[in-house]
Amino acid sequence: MSEASPASGEPFDLQKLQQLFELMEKHDLSEVNLKNGPEHIRLRRGSSTVTVAAPAPTYLPAPAAPVASAPAAAAPAASAPAAEAGLIDIKSPTVGTFYTSPTPEDPAFVNVGSTVGPQTVVCIIEAMKVFNQIPAEVSGTIAAVLVKNGDPVEYGQPLFRVRP
């Protein structure tokens, strides 16, 4: 029972907290908020940034497509034109929902033709109700936006193409 924790003098298991911090670092999460009965753990790492809440999207999972070797072979070819044209992909650092702006009423962080630097926020990816601001990490001009607002994204999925 959770009643045993206060008797031990420690409200939380420090080893589990350390594991949570390691997972946050491994998956580049800036905040974790957990609640289990009376226990509540909220962990933040990094500098204090403004977290913007966007309305929860109505997400309907896409029907499962049959797995074939042809689409897997096509994926490297899709990124080849970017490399040939000298463009750099900004990829998703996590799985989640892609948002182009902090709220539906605000303008997009960047559009085609926008100039970005390494610290320029280009989008927000929401994962488990945590809104992560994604920096460009490169300098250049946005050449293409590859994802639509509200679309689910995968880890490593190209989001933008940048002309250095």
Domain borders along the chain are: 4-44, 83-163
State the average pLDDT over residues 46-63: 50
Most confident of 40-54, 57-71, 100-114: 100-114
- Band of residue 4 on the pLDDT scale cut at 50, 70, 90: very low
List the helix and strand counts (H, then E) for the chain.
3, 10
Say whether pLDDT at 82 is over 80. no
Amino acid at 4: A
Say whether pLDDT at 80 is over 70. no
pLDDT for the residue 83 = 52
Tell me which fold the domain 83-163 belongs to: OB fold (Dihydrolipoamide Acetyltransferase, E2P) (2.40.50)
pLDDT for the residue 20 = 76
Nearest to 96 by CA among 145, 54, 36: 54
Using alpha carbons, list the distances in angstroms from residue 1 to 4, 5, 6, 19, 88: 6, 8, 11, 21, 52
pLDDT for the residue 69 = 46
pTM: 0.51
pLDDT for the residue 23 = 78
Instruction: Compare 65 and 124 and report the one with higher pLDDT.
Output: 124
State the average pLDDT over residues 112-139: 92
| Mean pLDDT score across all residues of the chain | 75
User: Are 140 and 116 contacting, i.e. CB atoms less than 8 angstroms apart?
Assistant: yes
Instruction: Compare 149 and 31 and report the one with higher pLDDT.
Output: 149
Give the count of beta carbons closer than 10 Å to the beta carbon of residue 108.
15
State the average pLDDT over residues 126-131: 89
Say whether pLDDT at 126 is over 50. yes
Nearest to 54 by CA among 109, 105, 118, 102: 102
